[in-house]
């Protein structure tokens, strides 16, 4: 999510997220995640609280059971809040500012932050704003301390940073060329390239996406001989294997196979859509298969815990704390899009090399440009 730079903001961890603040200019930006969250109740409670405090509601919108947005002012402090439903929880931000303390148009910052959350939750494109680095003297409404410095004539043009492609992994889920992956792997793509082996790439078409559950369905002009079979009845402690194409242009292009087990039957905040797994994964594993000992797909690799953030928050470095979306969630997504998929059952355990071969047959690399 987007956070403004250039304003001197202090960062603070809170029980529900992160807070960025500058008390001198009366600006507070808070990002929050609540594991249990009623969108309508929270909306009604916020409106009631603001009216009770004498604030004027400038704008309010409750959109079905997806999100709400509220803009308000008490004459001195302005504010904007936006929250989205995600599973049983809610995620969003609130921004408060003293409009008489600075020359910045903070309502435009609110619009940008709101747009970044909308993009994150819906998969809609979001264009990063130009980076502007105002100084403290330019922000505060203080008397001028002398003539402002004049720009030098004919400044050298700055070279634009290249937009590097993102990479990830996908799973052939049908023999008609349907590929299952994470929604974040193909977010904001102008072109999706799917690797079919030995340097052969084909253009992928985005068929459907579910940003709330981080799933996407692609279609490629290919007829794979093997498609993954989904299995849902997974037990705590089961051995699992992850396959993918992590760290493109760094690690082997032939794929990466790691082993571990199911360490928890829920994700962060007891999110029941996810498994926690100990199989090591890296950036680029996203969207790849998590397999059981029979080669069935029991999950779709999704994310790993940020150890730098945890080191800052709890003073410890987590090891192999990774997450995968459960096959049951993927099955519901496929059913909603009328995709017939295969189901797998426990059988005689396969040897590791055989599972790796099967994983490679069903997996593809994905490049998002």
Give the pLDDT mean for 214-222.
Answer: 94
User: Which among 32, 78, 214, 292 is annotated as catalytic?
Assistant: 214
Mean pLDDT of all residues in the chain? 81
Q: Which residues of 12-50 are buried (b: 16+ CB within 10 A; e: fewer)?
A: eeeeeebbbbbeebbbbbbbbbbeebebeebbeebbeeb
**Which domains, from first to last, does the chain contain?**
10-127 (3.40.1000), 166-368 (2.40.10.120)
Catalytic annotation on 188?
A: no
Dmax (CA) for the chain in angstroms is 81
The region of weakest confidence among 150-154, 167-171, 199-203 is 150-154
pLDDT confidence band for 108 (50 / 70 / 90): confident
pLDDT confidence band for 297 (50 / 70 / 90): very high
The yes-or-no verdict on residue 246 having pLDDT over 80 is yes
8 A C-beta contact, residue 324 and residue 301 = yes
User: Which among 42, 184, 278, 302 is annotated as catalytic?
Assistant: 184
Stronger pLDDT, 152 or 34, i.e. the higher one: 34
pLDDT confidence band for 267 (50 / 70 / 90): confident
In the numeric block, which tokens belong to residue 63? 């959109």
8 A C-beta contact, residue 273 and residue 325 = yes
Instruction: Compute CA distances 263 → 238, 259, 267, 276, whole Å.
Output: 8, 12, 10, 5
What is the per-residue pLDDT for 249?
A: 64
pLDDT confidence band for 64 (50 / 70 / 90): confident
What is the per-residue pLDDT for 128?
A: 53
Integer Cα distance of 58 and 307 in angstroms:
41
Beta strands 256-264 and 297-304: pairing type?
Answer: unpaired
The CA-CA-CA angle for residues 90, 92, 96, to 5°, reads 140
Catalytic annotation on 10?
A: no
Catalytic annotation on 214?
A: yes
User: Which among 114, 120, 278, 286 is annotated as catalytic?
Assistant: 286
The region of weakest confidence among 24-28, 160-164, 195-199, 204-208 is 160-164
Q: Is the pTM here over 0.75, yes or no?
A: no
């Amino acid at each position: 999510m987007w956070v403004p730079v250039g304003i001197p903001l202090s960062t603070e961890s809170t029980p529900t997220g992160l807070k960025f603040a500058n008390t001198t200019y009366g600006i507070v930006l808070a990002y929050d995640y609540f594991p249990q969250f009623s969108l309508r109740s929270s909306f009604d409670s916020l409106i009631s609280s603001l009216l009770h405090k004498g604030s004027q509601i400038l704008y309010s919108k409750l959109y079905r059971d997806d999100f709400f947005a509220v803009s308000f002012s008490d004459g001195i402090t302005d504010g904007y809040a936006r929250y989205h439903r995600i599973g049983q929880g809610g995620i969003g931000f609130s921004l408060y500012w003293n409009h008489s303390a600075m020359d910045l148009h903070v309502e435009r910052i609110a619009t940008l932050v709101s747009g970044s959350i909308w993009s994150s939750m819906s998969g809609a494109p979001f264009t990063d704003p130009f980076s502007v680095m105002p100084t403290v003297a330019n922000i505060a409404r203080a008397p001028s301390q002398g003539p402002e410095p004049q720009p030098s004539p004919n400044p050298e043009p700055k070279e634009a940073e290249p937009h590097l492609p993102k990479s990830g992994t996908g799973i052939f889920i049908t023999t008609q060329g349907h590929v299952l992956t994470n929604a974040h792997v193909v977010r904001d793509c102008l072109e999706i390239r799917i690797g079919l082996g030995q340097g052969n790439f084909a253009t992928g078409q985005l068929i459907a996406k579910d940003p709330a559950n981080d799933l996407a369905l692609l279609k490629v002009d290919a007829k794979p001989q093997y498609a993954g079979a989904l299995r849902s009845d997974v037990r705590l402690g089961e051995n699992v294997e992850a396959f993918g194409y992590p760290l493109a242009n760094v690690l082997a292009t032939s794929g990466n196979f790691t082993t571990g087990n199911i360490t928890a039957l829920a994700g962060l905040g007891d999110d029941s859509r996810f498994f926690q797994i100990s199989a090591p994964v890296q950036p680029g594993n996203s969207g790849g298969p998590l397999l059981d000992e029979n080669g069935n797909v029991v999950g779709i690799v999704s994310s790993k815990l940020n150890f730098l953030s945890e080191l800052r928050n709890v003073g410890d470095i987590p090891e192999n704390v990774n997450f995968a979306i459960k096959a049951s969630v993927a099955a519901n997504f496929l059913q909603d899009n009328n995709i017939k998929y295969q189901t797998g059952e426990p059988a005689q355990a396969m040897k590791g090399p055989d599972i790796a071969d099967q994983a490679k047959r069903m997996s593809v690399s994905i490049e998002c440009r």
